[in-house]
Chain A
Amino acid sequence: MAKDHNDAFVEFDRVQKTYDGESLVVKDLNLKIGQGEFLTMLGPSGSGKTTCLMMLAGFETATQGDIRLDGRPINSVPPHKRGIGMVFQNYALFPHMTVGENLSFPLEVRSIDKSERESKIKRALDMVQMGEFANRRPSQLSGGQQQRIALARALVFDPELVLMDEPLGALDKQLREHMQFEIKHLHDSLGITVVYVTHDQGEALTMSDRIAVFNDGRIQQLAPPATLYESPDNSFVAQFIGENNKLLGTVEAIDGETALIRLDNGEVIRATAVNVTSKGQKTLISIRPERVEYREELMPPGAQTLDAEVLEFIYMGDIFRTRLKVAGSDEFIIKSRNTQGQTRLEPGQMIKIGWDPKDARALDAQ
């Protein structure tokens, strides 16, 4: 899908938020979300994701800055006039109403007449495959079913923007993966804009058009999933998303894209300069485990190689995980697929590992 991010549908413009007047929970947030985009806010607990969502919904006010919806500032629009659909982590289905009454609520509020209400409710329930459940009470539904109803209720009044705060947090893994697929499917077919909050990186990677990684009240990186995973901008993102090997060192020289790094054990290696600017700077080199090769014949041309000692071999079914001691770090992980004839490394074995210097990213040392 083509998304025009310049023509922002939702825009946070230099937004700040403090609850206690002392510490900023959200610091200088700038974010443009395009019409029809699926944007995920991903970050550790307490990083301010829910706060951002609540400011957008109108339940919290921004201490500083503007929030615009479709070009109009909405700071002074009360939440019930914003027309934004919401899905909550605990579903917030009204326990004293049936499923049908729950879905009817936003329509009654809008004074939509009965026949149209019924057809909209039916369409929304069919959309989440819950057509037969209109007369049940929420307490008579399983967690996954309640989740679907909550989704249908947020969509039944045709909002253009839907906010979801960890909507799948309470479901088990299998159901969660299934619902991820369904939500994504609904997003594609309805063309709505979704702002989704999660702290599950797998969820964020599979569902989103773009991901905003939050930490400490700031967006650390805003990028499509592949970019985020393969080209993290800083060491927080590199470590927060996916598995990551880190090597500590000092910048020896920088030549355009490439940097020479002296590792803590004295060895000098080549890496991609991402977040380093000057000689002598401390740096953290990040390398994805699956980009490290230990069979010489398979290493890319011009590979950077290092000696390593095998510490532990972990059998995980489809993959093998091997823990190595590399350049003083004994937390270095490599992954290899359990293919026919794959060698199993023995602890104590000395090997040579190598990678394309493009895959080693020299980031800030935090």
Chain B
Amino acid sequence: MCADVTVATGGPALAGSSSLKANLRRAEAKKRRTAFMLTLPLLAFITVMFLVPLIGMVWLSVANTAVRDYMPKTVAAMATWNGKELPPEKVYAAVGEDLTVAYKARTFGRIAKRLNQEMPGVMGVINKTSFRSSKVTTPPASWKDELIKIDPKWGQMPIWNLLKRQSSMFTADYYLAAVDMQVSPTGHIERVPSYERIYIKLFIRTAWMSALVTALTLALGYPLAYWISRMPPSRANLMMIAVLLPFWTSLLVRITAWIVLLQSQGVVNSLLVGSGMVSEAARPQLINNALGTVIVMTQVLLPFMVLPLYSVMRSIPDTYMRAAISMGAHPWRAFWRVFAPLTVAGVGAGVLLVFILSIGYYITPELVGGQSGQFISNRIAYNVQQSLNWGLAAALGTILTVVTLILFLLYGMITGKGKVSLA
């Protein structure tokens, strides 16, 4: 009883209020440590499997190692060259010696590949020069004459400008290429010839097709989410399970099913022809084009729209609409003035979520997109697997990642206000 009174009057607490704070801090710190320990395995996993590759990708998109690593003497010799006229003899000598070593070490191919990405045709020059200079047994009187004899290109400026540019550690070339630009032989930044411009077009197509898919999922998902959200809880849960059902089916299986439905001899076309709505000759092309990509992606991404919409709508009680109607508003008007504005956060979240997922989509456009339904991701994969231009793939990937990240921050701002949860 006595002890109670002293605590209640605040005697000790007042006297030691700073120690109270210290105690609190210690207790909190312990809690934080525990939380950190519990998430440590996940943090480690994310670091190794996600962060490291991400950093690696960004590095690849700007790194310029081929010339620095395999032509070290040339890089050193060119450091003092002004780049206005042909370089002095010692630079020619450095090139000759570097390529001789590179030929023996079998690394000349990498130099050739890298330089060829920036100036088509250089590959042959490097290959030839490597081979021939490695056959030079005694150091020639003039490496300059020797090289120009091997290939007259060594007597002109462009290849030297290229070597100079490629001798720096970092390059923006890949990013330029990712937006259909290049550095001209004279060192100016210019657009690539029109027949080579593909990436800007692909970025725009990726964006507008994603927007179209987003709009379609919204148009289909909004009424669906509204309908489910007005059901009694037990039925609503059942319906939501139905909405989420596709998640338990492999994406590949679903896409295959769509192919069966949409191909030119497929179910939909057969029905159209069978019912006489279209003639045999005029079977519409529903797949392996942009249309196919849009149809399949809309189906695949619909749950991601319904989920946030439903979560927001569920929290809006019936009484709002009833109140509005009792005040004399036609149900449509009540809907637009009262219900719809309250779902804006859910619409924002759903739209961003679907758009973010869309712009990074790969597998669906790859399988049903044909030529006109390709997304930027498909081109990234091409550069990784076919053309082996990893720097360009990394630059494209980095651009895509940054755009996604910005959209995701926006999404976080909308959902962070506690209005939308995906639980």
A contact set with B: CB distance below 8 Å: 57, 59, 79-86, 88, 90, 92, 94-96, 105-106, 109-110, 153, 157
CB closest residue in chain A, given B316: A95
Given A79-B322, A80-B330, A85-B326; 15 other pairs, CB 8 A cutoff: A57-B326, A59-B322, A79-B326, A80-B327, A80-B334, A86-B323, A88-B322, A90-B317, A94-B324, A95-B342, A106-B328, A109-B327, A109-B329, A153-B323, A157-B327
Find chain B residues with CB under 8 A from A95 CB: 342
> B322 touching A157 by the CB < 8 A rule?
no
25 residue pairs A–B, Cβ–Cβ below 8 Å:
A59-B325, A80-B325, A80-B329, A80-B331, A82-B326, A83-B328, A84-B326, A86-B322, A86-B326, A88-B319, A88-B323, A92-B319, A92-B320, A94-B320, A94-B323, A94-B324, A94-B338, A105-B337, A106-B328, A109-B327, A109-B328, A109-B333, A110-B328, A153-B323, A157-B327
Contact with A along B403-415 (1 / 0, CB 8 A): 0000000000000
Find chain B residues with CB under 8 A from A79 CB: 322, 325-326
Cα(A199)–Cα(B161), bound, Å: 90
Size class of B's contact patch? 10 to 19
Find chain A residues with CB under 8 A from B139 CB: none
Find chain B residues with CB under 8 A from A59 CB: 322, 325
Cα(A83)–Cα(B328), bound, Å: 6
Find chain B residues with CB under 8 A from A96 CB: 341-342
Find chain A residues with CB under 8 A from B338 CB: 94
Find chain A residues with CB under 8 A from B319 CB: 88, 90, 92
Q: Of the candidates B327, B341, B342, which one forms a contact with A105 in the assembled complex, judged by CB atoms under 8 Å apart?
A: B327
CB closest residue in chain B, given A162: B326
Find chain A residues with CB under 8 A from B322 CB: 57, 59, 79, 86, 88, 92
Cα(A334)–Cα(B378), bound, Å: 87
Find chain A residues with CB under 8 A from B329 CB: 80, 105-106, 109
Find chain A residues with CB under 8 A from B326 CB: 57, 79-80, 82, 84-86
Find chain A residues with CB under 8 A from B320 CB: 92, 94
Cα(A95)–Cα(B319), bound, Å: 12
> B317 touching A153 by the CB < 8 A rule?
no
> A80 touching B342 by the CB < 8 A rule?
no
CB closest residue in chain B, given A80: B325
Contact with A along B298-320 (1 / 0, CB 8 A): 00000000000000000001011
Cα(A83)–Cα(B320), bound, Å: 17
B contact set with A: CB distance below 8 Å: 317, 319-320, 322-331, 333-334, 337-338, 341-342
Cα(A88)–Cα(B330), bound, Å: 19
Q: Closest approach, in angstroms, between the C-beta of B74 and any C-beta of chain A? A: 68
Cα(A81)–Cα(B326), bound, Å: 8
Q: Closest approach, in angstroms, between the C-beta of B130 and any C-beta of chain A? A: 72
Find chain A residues with CB under 8 A from B327 CB: 80, 85-86, 105-106, 109, 153, 157
Find chain B residues with CB under 8 A from A157 CB: 327-328
Cα(A70)–Cα(B20), bound, Å: 70
The 4 closest A-B pairs by CB, nearest first: A106-B327, A92-B323, A92-B319, A86-B326
Q: Closest approach, in angstroms, between the C-beta of B233 and any C-beta of chain A? A: 15
Find chain B residues with CB under 8 A from A84 CB: 326
Cα(A110)–Cα(B324), bound, Å: 12
Q: Closest approach, in angstroms, between the C-beta of B70 and any C-beta of chain A? A: 65
CB closest residue in chain A, given B319: A92
Cα(A82)–Cα(B323), bound, Å: 13
Cα(A157)–Cα(B337), bound, Å: 18
Q: Closest approach, in angstroms, between the C-beta of B355 and any C-beta of chain A? A: 24
CB closest residue in chain B, given A163: B326
- Of B326, B337, B338, which is in contact with the most chain A CB atoms at under 10 Å from its CB? B326
CB closest residue in chain A, given B321: A92
Cα(A57)–Cα(B325), bound, Å: 10
Cα(A132)–Cα(B326), bound, Å: 26
> B317 touching A92 by the CB < 8 A rule?
yes
Find chain B residues with CB under 8 A from A57 CB: 322, 326
Q: Closest approach, in angstroms, between the C-beta of A363 and any C-beta of chain B? A: 38
CB closest residue in chain B, given A96: B341
Cα(A81)–Cα(B331), bound, Å: 11
Q: Closest approach, in angstroms, between the C-beta of B169 and any C-beta of chain A? A: 55
- Of A59, A110, A153, which is in contact with the most chain B CB atoms at under 10 Å from its CB? A59
CB closest residue in chain A, given B320: A92
Cα(A226)–Cα(B96), bound, Å: 117
Q: Closest approach, in angstroms, between the C-beta of B254 and any C-beta of chain A? A: 38
Q: Closest approach, in angstroms, between the C-beta of A104 and any C-beta of chain B? A: 10
Find chain B residues with CB under 8 A from A82 CB: 326
Cα(A120)–Cα(B342), bound, Å: 26
Find chain A residues with CB under 8 A from B323 CB: 86, 88, 92, 94, 153
Q: Closest approach, in angstroms, between the C-beta of B322 and any C-beta of chain A? A: 6
Find chain A residues with CB under 8 A from B328 CB: 80-81, 83, 106, 109-110, 157
Cα(A110)–Cα(B330), bound, Å: 11
Cα(A84)–Cα(B326), bound, Å: 6
Q: Closest approach, in angstroms, between the C-beta of A94 and any C-beta of chain B? A: 6
> A105 touching B324 by the CB < 8 A rule?
yes
Cα(A88)–Cα(B324), bound, Å: 12
Find chain B residues with CB under 8 A from A105 CB: 324, 327, 329, 337
Q: Closest approach, in angstroms, between the C-beta of B300 and any C-beta of chain A? A: 33
Q: Closest approach, in angstroms, between the C-beta of B320 and any C-beta of chain A? A: 5
CB closest residue in chain B, given A103: B327
Cα(A92)–Cα(B325), bound, Å: 12
Find chain B residues with CB under 8 A from A90 CB: 317, 319
Cα(A94)–Cα(B337), bound, Å: 10
Find chain B residues with CB under 8 A from A86 CB: 322-323, 326-327
Q: Closest approach, in angstroms, between the C-beta of A146 and any C-beta of chain B? A: 13
Cα(A151)–Cα(B228), bound, Å: 31
Q: Closest approach, in angstroms, between the C-beta of B151 and any C-beta of chain A? A: 73
Cα(A235)–Cα(B341), bound, Å: 51
Cα(A90)–Cα(B320), bound, Å: 10
Q: Closest approach, in angstroms, between the C-beta of B313 and any C-beta of chain A? A: 14
Q: Closest approach, in angstroms, between the C-beta of A254 and any C-beta of chain B? A: 50
CB closest residue in chain B, given A95: B342
Find chain A residues with CB under 8 A from B325 CB: 59, 79-80
CB closest residue in chain A, given B326: A86
Cα(A92)–Cα(B326), bound, Å: 12
Cα(A259)–Cα(B276), bound, Å: 88
Q: Closest approach, in angstroms, between the C-beta of B43 and any C-beta of chain A? A: 37
- Of A80, A81, A110, which is in contact with the most chain B CB atoms at under 10 Å from its CB? A80
Q: Closest approach, in angstroms, between the C-beta of A194 and any C-beta of chain B? A: 14
CB closest residue in chain B, given A84: B326
Cα(A148)–Cα(B323), bound, Å: 15
Find chain A residues with CB under 8 A from B330 CB: 80
Find chain B residues with CB under 8 A from A94 CB: 320, 323-324, 338
Q: Closest approach, in angstroms, between the C-beta of B342 and any C-beta of chain A? A: 6
Q: Closest approach, in angstroms, between the C-beta of A45 and any C-beta of chain B? A: 18
Cα(A92)–Cα(B342), bound, Å: 13
